Structure 1
Amino acid sequence: MKCYILMGSPRKNGNTAALLEPFIDEMEKNGVSCETDWLYDMDIKGCVACLHCQHNMNEPDCALKDDMQSVIKKALECDILIYATPIYSWYCTAPMKAAMDRLIYCCNKTYMGQNGPRLLEGKKFASITSSGYRPEKGNSVWNMGLTNYSKHGGMNYIGVEGEKDHGYDHEFMSEEKAEHMRLFAREILSK
């Protein structure tokens, strides 16, 4: 089983990265291979809604040539897709949003009045976040967006697990937060 993680944080040693460590450890202990791509390190342009991807019903076939081709390939090959991102203004970071738009357009062949395939259909899908707000408040808009996104893509949305950052003068990571991430990994595997 493969888990593909799109990491939307600009900070390699930041809070979202700290949350991923116990999550990945738990996945790997359960026989899941995990691969993470850091979106801030990649060249991913925003979708231009040209609909080029809709002319090939069986392949993503995006007109923009950048690192998104690799992201799409890995997303199609995985069993579990994770979007890990800090929450900025109640939603994901800009590189994450660009990748999301491109992935859903390229993999859903439904945009030109057609009922074509949804290439991500059936995949397990979830999100891990860090935010300056309590998770239920900070993740509210993000969770709503992901619920609609996964429904549109035919994915099995497990949910979002987030943790609050109390500020730069406080230690972010704790054993309690690590345990939440391990439990979330097990929840995803059980569904």
Structure 2
Amino acid sequence: MKVLTLQGSARKKGNTARVISWMDEELTAMGHEVESVYLSSKNIKGCLACGKCKENMEGVGCIQKDDAPEILQKMIEAELVVFASPLYFWGVSGPLKCLIDRTFSLYNNYHQPDHISLVKGQRQALVVTGAGPYENNAEPTFTAFGRLQGPHMAINAGELFIGPCTSPDQMDSSIKEKAKAFARKIVA
């Protein structure tokens, strides 16, 4: 299976990156092709809501000249996309949120009988790390992600919250096992 991980953390050696590295190792060991994209090092502008992307649904139709169209093309080609981010004020990080907003270009006619999506049937998963608990903290992020599969016509393959996190070196073997088990679950 072709797996694309969209890493929203600004820290390439932070908590989210550590969890994703364990997942990537497990997925690779299982024979899957895994690619990670660190979004904080990319130029991703916010969606303009201009609607130009809806004029031709044969590919990524976004008119903006930044790194998002290339990443969106990688999404189209992937069978599984893992959205990964630290929790920032009850949501995903800015770079990941901008890219999610730009996925507006991947579907057309949402809520209509002729609804189409360039990622139809794709498996999508969410991994979030946070300093606090899940309750009264991370729920909005998971609610929003659960709704994303509607317009994408995608499959929610799974959701994982790791918290409370302090630093990557404080993550014990139980968290590593959770990450590996989650990796196995999202490709099953």
Q: TM-score range by the shorter chain?
A: over 0.9
Comparing 107-116 with 133-142, greater Cα deviation is found at 107-116
Alignment RMSD (CA, Å)? 1.8
Residues in 2 aligned to 1:100 and 1:131: alpha-carbon distance in whole angstroms:
20
Deviation at 1:131, TM superposition (A): 0.3
Secondary structure of the equivalent of 1:135?
coil
| Other-structure match for 2:37 | 37
Residues in 2 aligned to 1:166 and 1:187: alpha-carbon distance in whole angstroms:
22
Residue segments in structure 1 that go unaligned for 5+ positions in a row: none
| Other-structure match for 2:139 | 140
The TM-score, its normalising length taken from structure 1, stands at 0.92
1:69-80 to 2 correspondence within 5 Å? Answer: 69-80=69-80
Question: Residue by residue, what CA displacement relative to the aligned partner does 1:57-107 show, whole Å, maximum 9, x if unpaired?
Answer: 22221011110111011000011000010001110001110000101x110
Secondary structure of the equivalent of 2:99?
helix
Residue segments in structure 2 that go unaligned for 5+ positions in a row: none
Paired residue type of 1:71: I
Residues in 2 aligned to 1:179 and 1:112: alpha-carbon distance in whole angstroms:
39
1:71-150 to 2 correspondence within 5 Å? Answer: 71-103=71-103, 105-110=104-109, 115-150=114-149
Paired residue type of 1:70: E
Aligned length: 188
| Other-structure match for 2:182 | 184
Deviation at 1:158, TM superposition (A): 2.0
Deviation >4 Å, runs of 4+:
111-114
Does the aligned pair in 2 maintain the 1:15–1:172 contact within 8 Å?
Answer: no
Secondary structure of the equivalent of 1:47?
coil
| Other-structure match for 2:170 | 172
The TM-score, its normalising length taken from structure 2, stands at 0.93
| Other-structure match for 1:9 | 9
Deviation at 1:166, TM superposition (A): 4.4
Paired residue type of 1:62: C
| Other-structure match for 1:61 | 61
Residues in 2 aligned to 1:114 and 1:60: alpha-carbon distance in whole angstroms:
22
Secondary structure of the equivalent of 2:108?
coil
Paired residue type of 2:178: H
Residues in 2 aligned to 1:147 and 1:83: alpha-carbon distance in whole angstroms:
12
Deviation at 1:172, TM superposition (A): 2.8
Does the aligned pair in 2 maintain the 1:132–1:138 contact within 8 Å?
Answer: no
Does the aligned pair in 2 maintain the 1:51–1:111 contact within 8 Å?
Answer: no
Residues in 1 aligned to 2:111 and 2:51: alpha-carbon distance in whole angstroms:
8
Residues in 1 aligned to 2:111 and 2:125: alpha-carbon distance in whole angstroms:
28
